[in-house]
Copies of this chain bind each other. A is one copy, B any other.
Amino acid sequence: MPERTVFYVSDGTGITAETFGKAILAQFDVQFRAVRLPFVDTVDKAHQAVRQINHTAEHEGRRPIVFTTLVNMDVLHVIQQHCKGMLLDMFGTFVHPLEEELGVKSHHRVGRFSDASKSADYQRRIDAINFALAHDDGQSDQDLAAADVILVGVSRSGKTPTSLYLAMQYGIKAANYPLIPEDFERQQLPPALLAYKKKLFGLSIQPERLAEIRQERRPGSKYASLENCRREVAAAEAMMRRAGIKWLSTTHKSIEEIATTILQELKLNEAVG
């Protein structure tokens, strides 16, 4: 049984509230049950949210944690006045000092994405997702000049999820290219990539972990055997070293950590925010 219920209340998607709340709560050895309450953008919906939170408080006999990212002040006031949870007002806490620092008032507009279809930043992310899909697994050599980064590595080293994450989170155009037996025989990176050496980034992985992942996909195959995984990983790492490209091991890393490291290593770390 969870020890505490946590609500994420937002007049937008609540993704910011949840991302932040999860990171904070991960600091505690307590089991939480999370409930998202997105699009709470009217006084009516605020009262509904309050009812749900207060019902939980009563039912569980302890007050829930309530993270809010509310920019609509009328909604916030309803929550502040009636909610029996522990209220953590993430926006209010930081917006006021920032208003003083910047010397301007915040405009209390809802949502990071309110004009999504018109925003250049958003369009860049969608284009990058399409680019990642069109250039997944070496599907296309076309347009590689447009790539911000080209990931290389053996099959199942983490290239596809990393490419998609770079696209979705940062609008980075990431192609990915598998290293295959033909490349190992030639002991050379795939010829299509030689013109783009500065954009290349290698992903490797411990052979034991790779064999595990491949076994799930093709149990009992030569492809998944530890011996073959060892050979491929050794050949791929040797090739990346010879080519002088940057690379990392994905074995103990999340896609978030892999993506962040790539941005840092290729100096793509500055972005208009």
Interface residues of A (CB under 8 A from B): 2, 4, 6, 12-16, 18-30, 32-39, 63, 65, 69, 71, 86, 88, 90-91, 93-95, 97-99, 101-102, 104, 106-109, 111-113, 116-117, 122, 126, 129, 133, 136, 160-161, 164-165, 168-169, 209, 251-257, 259-261, 263-264, 269-273
Select which of B26, B93, B116, B165 is within 8 A of A93 by beta carbon: B93
Smallest CB-CB A-B distances: 7 pairs: A34-B273, A116-B254, A113-B254, A27-B106, A13-B260, A16-B23, A20-B20
Complexed CA–CA distance, A232 and B144 (Å): 33
Please determine whether B23 and A270 come into contact, CB atoms closer than 8 angstroms. no
Please determine whether B109 and A252 come into contact, CB atoms closer than 8 angstroms. no
Number of copies: 2
Residue of B whose beta carbon sits closest to that of A16:
B23
Please determine whether A23 and B112 come into contact, CB atoms closer than 8 angstroms. yes
Residue of B whose beta carbon sits closest to that of A205:
B117
Please determine whether B116 and A101 come into contact, CB atoms closer than 8 angstroms. no
Please determine whether B209 and A256 come into contact, CB atoms closer than 8 angstroms. no
Please determine whether A257 and B26 come into contact, CB atoms closer than 8 angstroms. no
Q: How far apart are A161's CB and chain B's nearest CB, in angstroms? A: 5
Complexed CA–CA distance, A122 and B136 (Å): 22
> Given A117-B251, A168-B164, A270-B36: A102 and B4 within 8 A (CB)?
yes
Select which of B28, B98, B209 is within 8 A of A102 by beta carbon: B28
Q: Which residues of B contact A256 (CB under 8 A)?
A: 13, 15, 112-113
